[in-house]
């Protein structure tokens, strides 16, 4: 299916947020996730089903002011 | 230093909060944190590609500093974006502290105070300890306190401008009105003298980033700001004299030599 990940169009096979992270190489990386602007807790990623047109955000720690 | 600063659940010795962005290198950032003797540093969340370890190594550096982290919602333009970002930050950084930014203007990076109050209410209800980045508006301050904020962070000038205090009267009025609320000047300070000035007004702390990170020598500047904040606080506690328009001799006039008019 076709979704957007961090603002970029992305063709993916994953059905859940958890498997998306694996598919895109985020495994064991420290990240937080949101699906269509709603926060998804790490422990809920396996139940977060993806659909065509979804927007996923995958964020990591960064310098900030 | 015996006098402590209470911010929510924390009791701090340092009154200088430091941003972690735009340093020449991670090593200089680490040295600047030490030189500033800061106990709170701000951090953020940004998009990262799969397989990158940049965020992780930065987070490791911050943890090694021993400072408490204050994640921000920098760049968020709606209450919804800010709330979601705060929730994500709480999971990653394992803290319920959040520096709440809802930006309303591209040129000045001025906060959208309506979105700010809305997000502050939502986050406070969810157990966050909110540090709102605000203008010096008294009514906005009142609304933020009603929304559950127990610390307020007015700007001095636009973020990264280094202008110092734009509205001295406004900051004075805010301090006078909310004398028992911790007030932190966040944004716009450029030089240690600016930091000393707001501390002399009775502000409880300052939050800096660009003034340190973009200085020619960020580590030395971090130290200079630490000294200025400490001096400003000491001066406030010592109660500065009231300025006058006319001169008043400091040396006693009575007994002056060559004073033919004296009885």
Residue B110, pLDDT above cutoff 80: yes
Cβ of A7 under 8 Å from any chain B Cβ?
yes
- Give the pLDDT of residue B245: 94
ipTM exceeding the 0.85 mark: yes
Q: Do A61 and B51 touch (CB under 8 A)?
A: no
Cβ of A41 under 8 Å from any chain B Cβ?
yes
- Give the pLDDT of residue B232: 98
Q: Do A65 and B88 touch (CB under 8 A)?
A: no
**Which chain B residues are closer than 8 Å to A61 by Cβ?**
43-45, 55-56, 58-59, 62, 92-93
pLDDT, one tens digit per residue, over B140-156 is 999 999 999 999 999 99
**In CATH terms, is domain A2-59 a member of 3.90.550.10?**
no
Instruction: Clarify whether B4 is annotated catalytic.
Output: no
**Which chain A residues are closer than 8 Å to B91 by Cβ?**
32, 39, 41-42
Residue B2, pLDDT above cutoff 70: no
Cβ B164 vs Cβ B212: under 8 Å = no
- Give the pLDDT of residue B36: 97
Q: In this structure, which long-range contacts are made by residues B235-243, counting pairs with CB atoms below 8 Å and at least 24 apart in sequence? A: B235/B196, B235/B199, B235/B200, B236/B199, B236/B200, B236/B201, B236/B202, B237/B3, B240/B200
Q: Rounded to an integer, what distance in angstroms lies between the CA atom of residue A19 and that of residue A34?
A: 14
C-alpha angle B168-B12-B96 in degrees, rounded to nearest 5: 90
Q: In this structure, which long-range contacts are made by residues B59-65, counting pairs with CB atoms below 8 Å and at least 24 apart in sequence? A: B59/A30, B59/A61, B59/B92, B59/B93, B61/B26, B61/B29, B61/B30, B62/A61, B62/B20, B64/B30, B65/B30, B65/B33, B65/B34, B65/B41
pLDDT, one tens digit per residue, over A10-59 is 999 999 999 999 999 998 899 999 999 999 999 999 999 999 999 999 99
Q: Where are the domains of chain A?
A: 2-59
Q: Do A63 and B44 touch (CB under 8 A)?
A: yes
Residue B237, pLDDT above cutoff 80: yes
Q: Nearest Cβ partner of A63 from B43, B85, B92? A: B43
pLDDT, one tens digit per residue, over B41-95 is 999 999 999 999 889 999 999 999 999 999 999 999 999 999 999 999 999 999 9
Cβ of A22 under 8 Å from any chain B Cβ?
no
């Amino acid at each position: 299916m076709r979704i957007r990940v961090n603002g970029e169009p992305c063709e993916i096979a994953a059905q859940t947020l958890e498997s998306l992270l694996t598919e895109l190489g985020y495994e064991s990386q420290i990240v937080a996730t949101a699906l269509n602007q709603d926060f998804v807790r790490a422990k809920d990623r396996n139940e977060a089903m993806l659909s065509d047109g979804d927007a996923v955000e995958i964020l990591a720690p960064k310098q900030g002011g | 230093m015996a006098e402590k600063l209470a911010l929510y659940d924390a009791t701090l010795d340092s009154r200088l909060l430091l941003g972690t962005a735009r340093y020449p290198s991670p090593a200089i950032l680490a040295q600047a944190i030490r030189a500033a003797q800061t106990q709170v540093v701000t951090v953020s969340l940004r998009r990262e590609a799969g397989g990158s370890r940049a965020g992780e190594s930065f987070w490791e550096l911050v943890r090694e500093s021993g400072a408490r982290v204050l994640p921000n919602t920098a760049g968020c333009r709606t209450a919804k974006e800010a709330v979601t970002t705060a929730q994500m930050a709480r999971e990653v950084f394992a803290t319920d502290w959040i520096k709440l930014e809802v930006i309303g203007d591209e040129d000045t990076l001025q906060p959208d105070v309506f979105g700010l109050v809305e997000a502050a209410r939502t986050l406070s209800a969810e157990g966050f300890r909110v540090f709102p980045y605000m203008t010096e508006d008294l009514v906005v301050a009142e609304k933020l306190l009603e929304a559950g904020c127990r610390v307020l962070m007015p700007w001095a000038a636009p973020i990264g401008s280094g202008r110092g205090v734009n509205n001295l009267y406004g900051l004075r009025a805010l301090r006078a009105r909310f004398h028992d609320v911790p007030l932190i000047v966040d944004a716009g300070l450029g030089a240690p003298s600016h930091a000393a000035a707001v501390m002399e007004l009775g502000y409880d702390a300052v939050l800096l980033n660009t003034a340190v990170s973009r200085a020619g020598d960020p580590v030395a500047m971090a130290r200079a700001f630490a000294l200025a904040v400490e001096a400003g606080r000491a001066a406030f506690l010592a109660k500065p004299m009231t300025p006058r328009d006319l001169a008043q001799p400091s040396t006693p006039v009575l007994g002056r030599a060559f004073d033919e008019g004296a009885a």
